Structure 1
Amino acid sequence: MNGTKQSAEDLAILEQLNLDYIHSDEASDAKRFSEFLAEDFIVQTPGVTRNREEYLEYIAKPRPIKDIALRDVKIRILGDVALIHGRVTYTMIADGVLQEALYTDVYQKREGTWVCVSACAIAPGA
C-alpha cells in the first residue's frame, strides 16, 4: 500500500473518530468512547485532569450541553500519531447561552488501529 492511499484511509478514519468523539460527548455515550479511548488515555479540561476510567464515568452522566456543532477541524497525521485541532460551538442547557470551545485530541495508531491517547479542551461550562 502506498503512502498516499494509507494517508487517505487514515484521514477518513480519523475524521469519523472525531465525529464520534463529538457526538458521543453530547449523547453521554460512554460505551462508544470506551471503544476508541486508549487504556492510558488522559484528558484535560480547565482545572481538571482525568484518566480513562474517570472520563468514562464523567461522560456517562447527563451532559450540561446540547447542539454541538463543529466549526473548524484540522487533522495532521505525523507517522503513527495524529493531532486533531478543532473548534466547536454548543449551547448550555441550564441557561441557553451559546459557548465556544477549542480542543486538541491526540490519536496513535496501535497495532493497526487508531486510538485516542490524549485530549485537551478549553471549554467553558462543559
Structure 2
Amino acid sequence: MSPRLSPLARLVRRTAGAAFAVLSLWPAWSAAATTEETLTAIEDQRVEAVRIQDFGTLGRIYAPEFLAVSPQGEVIDRSQLFQALAKGQSAQRFSTDDIRVLDLGATAVVFGRQTARAPTGQVTEVSRFAHVYIQRDGQWWCVSAQSTRMPEP
C-alpha cells in the first residue's frame, strides 16, 4: 500500500504533471510559426547563403522552375541567377530591411528593400524586391522575383 499524500504533495504532483504535459507540446507550438515569421527567416537565410555562396541552401529556397525579372529588365531562371551570384559578387555585402509579407494562404509575396555595400561600407546599390513564394509539401519555395533599382542614395 502506498503512503497517503498530503494535500500539498498532491497539488505539487498534479501541477508537475500538468507542467510536463504542457512542455511536451512545446515543439509543436514552436513549429507553428506564422507565415510572416517563417518567410522572414527564409529571407535571412537567403541573404546569408548569398554571402557565403551556399548554393545548397539557395537550391532549397529557389524552386527549380524559378523565374525573375532582374533590375536590368532581363528574365532569368534559377540557373542564370546562381551563375550571376557565383560571379565575384562576394566583395559586396547585401542586407535587407523593410520586409512586408502578403500572406495569401499557400502563396505569399515578400516585399523588401535590399542594400548592397562595398567592402568599405559605401552603399553601391539599393533596390526594392518582390519574392513570390508557394508552399509545396510543407515547404516554402521562391518561384518568382522582381527587383527594381532605386535612385542613388
Tell me if both proteins adopt one fold, taking TM over 0.5 as the criterion. yes
Q: Which residue of 1 aligns with 2:79?
A: 53
Q: 1:55-94: CA deviations, max 9, x gaps?
A: 222222221652322231101110110100001222146x
Q: Structure 1 length normalisation: TM-score?
A: 0.78
Q: Which of these residues, 42, 45, 48, is aligned with residue 23 of structure 1?
A: 48
Q: Structure 2 length normalisation: TM-score?
A: 0.66
The list of structure 1 runs, each at least 4 consecutive aligned residues, that deviate by more than 6 angstroms after superposition, is none
Question: Unmatched 5+ residue regions in structure 2?
Answer: 1-29
2:81 and 2:93 mapped to 1: Cα distance?
A: 21
2:56 and 2:149 mapped to 1: Cα distance?
A: 22
Percent identical pairs in the alignment equals 22
Q: Which of these residues, 95, 109, 115, is aligned with residue 141 of structure 2?
A: 115
> Larger % of helix: which?
2
Which structure ranks higher in relative contact order (CA pairs < 8 Å, sequence separation ≥ 6)?
A: 1
> Larger % of strand: which?
1
CA RMSD between the two structures: 2.5
The offset of 1:19, in angstroms, is 0.9
Q: Which residue of 1 aligns with 2:132?
A: 106
1:77 and 1:32 mapped to 2: Cα distance?
A: 23
1:42 and 1:8 mapped to 2: Cα distance?
A: 27
* Structure-2 change in CA distance of 1:57 and 1:69 (3 Å): closer
How many residues align structurally? Answer: 119
Q: Which residue of 1 aligns with 2:37?
A: 12
Q: Which residue of 2 aligns with 1:83?
A: 109
Question: Unmatched 5+ residue regions in structure 1?
Answer: none
